[in-house]
Structure 1
Amino acid sequence: MSILSFRTLLAIVMIMLPRTGVQAQALREIGRTAARNPVLVEPRSVRREQSQVHATVRVRFAKAVRAPGGDWWSSRTRLTLDCTSRRVKVLENWYYGDTTWRRITSHHVSGLPAFGTVMGGSMTSVAYDALCPVSTSPTK
């Protein structure tokens, strides 16, 4: 087998191997914010626990958000939704300088996470509407 054939075979095998980590997860679009930014969920991150839903949600910004550490083009947020009271607790978030979630420009872990109100049109509102069952939503 020649060196070129071996390299070609090796390249094909590497492509065929299952990917690991974040890239292996197929993101699923669950809606759009009021600013028309697509909101996606990592399906394997979704866990239901009584009236709460734990998930990791991502957003691709249509326009860059200016920030001191560099422009933000996308975000990734770990959160907990309380489906009975329409409240959200943000546990951790990352902001990225690209739309592929590779170049982190900001990372924040909430010191004392607490539940807050889900704001209409926001990423948390889209996540709440998509992930919380209708039967546990509060009456309006």
Structure 2
Amino acid sequence: MLMDAWIWRQCGKPYDKDAQWASEGKVLLPLLQNMLSDPWFALPAPKSTGREYFNYGWLERHLARFQGLRPQDVQATLAELTAVTIAEQVLLSGGCERLLVCGGGACNPLLMARLAALLPGTEVSTTGCGWYQRR
């Protein structure tokens, strides 16, 4: 959601095809740490959310504390935020042998690679990209 919202606002594209744009950037650790400090991430499982919380306004509030950020770096940082928060929840729940990723993120090679790196010993695979592949 956040990666798509960012690239839409910056480039007018619905998503970052093959993570091309994020791959041009680098993870901004201060921004990542700032976003990870959001209280939602500290809530105990089970939990669920969506665009009602994690939307462009949420992102703007976190970006407002930083100046002169390259848009590609923000995209790379959002990909890392996604990977880190998923991996953290998997590990907190005791880990797993296989993680099935679905939706648009399953078509994002950077996200899939980061999940595999953050979850050694876990097979990270996709259920398929569905209609995302056809876009």
TM-score, with length taken from structure 2:
0.25
More strand by share: 1
- The structure with higher relative contact order (CA 8 Å, sep 6+) is 2
More helix by share: 2
Which of structures 1 and 2 has the bigger CA Rg? Answer: 1
